[in-house]
Amino acid sequence: MSPEPTVAEVGIPAALFASGVTKRFGHRLVLKGINLSVAPGERIAIFGPNGAGKSTLLRILSTVSSPTTGRVEVDGIDPEQDPREARRRIGVISHYPYLYGDLTARENLRFYGRMYDVPHLDDRITRMATRVGIAARLDDRVDTFSHGMQQRLAMARAVLHDPEVLMLDEPEGGLDQDGLNLLVNLLTEPESGRRRAAIVVTHHLDLGLALSDRVAILVGGRLAFQSTSGELDAASVREHYSRHTSPAYASARGGPGK
Amino acid sequence: MRSYLDKVLAIVGKDVASELRTREVLSSMFVFAVLVIVVFNFAFELNVENNEAVAPGVLWVAIIFAGMLGLNRSFISEKDRGCMEGLLLCPVDRSAIYVGKMLGNLLFMLTMEAIVLPIFAAFFNLSVFDPKLLLVVLLGTIGFAAVGTLFAAVAVHTRTREVMLPILLLPVAVPVLVAAVKATGEAIARTPPSTPGPWLGVLVGFDVIFLTVAYLTFEYVFQE
Amino acid sequence: MNEQGWLPRGPLGWVVPPMMIGALYMAFLFAPTEATMGDVQRIFYFHVPSAWAAFLAFAVVFVASIQWLRTKQPRWDAMAVSAAEVGIVFCSIALVTGSIWAKPIWGTWWDWDPRLTTTLILWLIYVSYLMLRTSVENPARRASLSAVVGIVGFIDVPVVFMSIRWWRTIHPVLLSASGFDMAPSMVATLMVCLVAFTLLFVHLLRLRISLELQREEVHRLRDQILYEE
């Protein structure tokens, strides 16, 4: 499928754009040509079985890793040219909380706030902490937090710098309904009301559908299916998913990556 | 530039705050250094006569081996808590991470030395408040921390981790060891030599060269 | 790829064996016996060129490491690891021959003199380089990490040499008044051996690189069958 143009009709760059992205580890080709475009404010869920390359793709999109060939652009910025500006626009929520256990919640947020050049940091921290419901525990050490509270803090950390794009790597671990609601809530920036773009990588179909406008299915390093914007029919997505990941389909194509 | 410095200080501050809470690194470094000095006493039957000859070597072996404990921890703790990736996601030059981590390691080593030196002085019946000695300790520690921080980052990406750091670091740090031991010997000598050796120059040269090389190559350690 | 098996590879394959034989002849038969040290001095004709080849190899590691970091082309990494392996062989030869020479002359197998000690440190750095490589699985990361170590190591060598030199000196200084004086025929022998060893080094390096590239090719084919469609 051909990539959508970087500059959409209204002349605004895509929040995230990937063109011809491949990733090779030694001789293993894990990603085999990913073309993806996410408009500002758009949410996309990427489903895929284990070993499809989801984490690898997310690492490349979040600029931690670089593609073997191909290009990534964040809000029109090439991370190879200007990594700092690209990273500034990205927030990541992963199964690692990215939190320092011996430091307090406030110290964690202050650290990341400084690293991301967040203006009016202390105010921002207070407001975000209230938003995610940990304001009372701001000065407690993070290793005294329950798993749920750590997740909330991780969410606050991820959006502290008001990123254009939020990336979620398999957020289903330990998220209750409240946590999920909070996540959806944070997809909109509280101060400006700006809708963040989001990329949710998951193999949990219902969760992905709840969070997104569009879906894609990653199988064997390729995007086997991408829906267009519009009404998402959970049943049809489910059907696409089973079809693309079924053993019969897989063996017909010579076997996806293990 | 101002932002760069602020981020460096943020990293140093974070490491210091973390250490103040747990005090794991400083205490283990300190205890290890003292143990090394004590072990050397039994290994070499130190007495008042051979004091001056062996003391510098004992001091620097203690500093170097204790120092490696701290160096290892600086990256292993990040990696184990998954925070390394969080740090790499930040809009910060990789070289700033190097400077921040290096300064943190330097601070920990100097703090450890501040406690070990008086003990060392007591064991060997020497004076520690000699400006030349303190200068040697400072310069030697800087050089060791400069390469050590780089190699600690390299080592954390390997299978053997803690073991890899001494294997990589010790051969490369030989000039520091040689110069520091010699300079320490000159500093504590009862009869100082008429013409001091070029040791301080070697240390300064080593520090400058390897701070630069490490600063320039650090970002490549994180490429994948 | 070359399937000639036992036959020499490339022009160097034809040149190196006769050169080595020539070097052996000159070292053992042509060169005169040294006045004070006797025949054991002849080992010098292998010791010095080996040390030279070891340093040359490390310089290759340095350049290849920089080029890898700049271009990310696998052949530079192949060159780096090949030079390190070949270099460690020559370094070991230099150390052993140095030791064999030292025993009758200085009365000890080893003394911590600058050149020998620097060669030992060089050997240790090579070894740590290779150990690093075996400890990293991801090929690109392995190449980047070893490149960093290769660069730091090479820059370190002159610093090591200077610091140990100021520390002690009893190694015979070749080109000055002390040490043994070299008759013209000895100089000629040394030159021939230097050239022979340099060519040997280049030849071995090329063989090792082609071996490395072949291994990469085999892995690539195997993985293509296993993992790709």
Average pLDDT rounded to a whole number, residues C59-73: 95
pLDDT of residue C169: 45
**CB contact A70 to C (< 8 Å):** no
Contact C135 B182 (CB under 8 A): no
Distance of residue B103 Cα from the nearest chain A Cα, in angstroms: 17
Strand-pair category, A197-202 with A69-74: unpaired
**B212 or A20, greater pLDDT:** B212
Interface test with B, best of A63, A85, A114 (most B CBs within 10 A): A114
Per-domain boundaries in chain A: 1-86+197-258
Q: Which of A89, A91, A92, A67 is nearest to A80 (CA)?
A: A67
pLDDT in tens, B99-117: 999 999 999 999 999 999 9
Third-level CATH fold of A1-86+197-258:
Rossmann fold (3.40.50)
The pLDDT-based confidence of A254 (bands split at 50, 70, 90) is very low
With a CB-CB cutoff of 8 Å, which residues 161-200 of chain B face chain C?
Answer: 164, 167-168, 170-172, 174-175, 178-179, 182, 197-199
Q: Give Cβ neighbours of residue C104 (< 8 Å, ≥ 6 apart).
A: C37, C38, C40
pLDDT tens-digit map of A5-34 = 444 445 678 888 888 898 888 777 888 889
B192, pLDDT greater than 90: no
Cβ contacts (< 8 Å) between A90 and chain B: which residues?
89
Average pLDDT over residues C67-75: 92
Asked whether residue B218 carries a pLDDT value surpassing 90, the answer given is yes
Rounded to the nearest integer, the mean pLDDT of chain C is 84
Q: Which is more confident, A196 or B44? A: A196
Q: How confident is the model at residue A228 (pLDDT cuts 50, 70, 90)?
A: low
Measured between beta carbons, the chain A residues lying within 8 angstroms of B93 are: 84
CA distance A76 to chain C (A): 25
- Separation of alpha carbons C35 and B39, rounded Å: 49
Is the confidence at residue B39, as pLDDT, over 80?
yes
pLDDT one-digit tens code per residue, C157-204: 889 888 887 776 434 444 333 345 677 788 888 888 999 999 999 999
Mean pLDDT value across residues A176-191: 81
Cβ-defined contact of B154 to C148 (cutoff 8 Å): yes
Confidence of residue C6 (pLDDT cuts 50, 70, 90): low
User: Domain extents for chain C?
Assistant: 46-171+186-227
Whole-number CA gyration radius for chain A = 18
Q: Per 3-state DSSP, what percentage of chain C is helix, strand, and coil (rounded to 5)?
A: 80, 0, 20
User: In this predicted model, what pLDDT tens digit does every residue of A156-182 receive, in sequence order?
Assistant: 999 999 999 999 988 777 677 788 888
At how many degrees (to 10) do helices B94-124 and B131-155 cross?
A: 130
Residue of higher predicted confidence among C42 and C94: C94
Angle between helices B94-124 and B24-44 (to 10 degrees): 40
Query: Helix H segments across chain A?
Result: 54-61, 83-88, 105-115, 121-132, 147-159, 177-186, 205-211, 234-245, 247-252
Model's pTM, two decimal places? 0.89
ipTM of the predicted structure? 0.90
The better pLDDT of the pair A237, B163 is held by B163
What is the model's pLDDT at position A257? Answer: 42
Whether chain B has a CB inside 8 Å of the CB on C84: the answer is no
Cα–Cα distance, A149 to A156 (Å, whole number): 11
- Asked if pLDDT for residue B161 goes beyond 60, the answer is yes
Domain ranges of chain B: 2-222
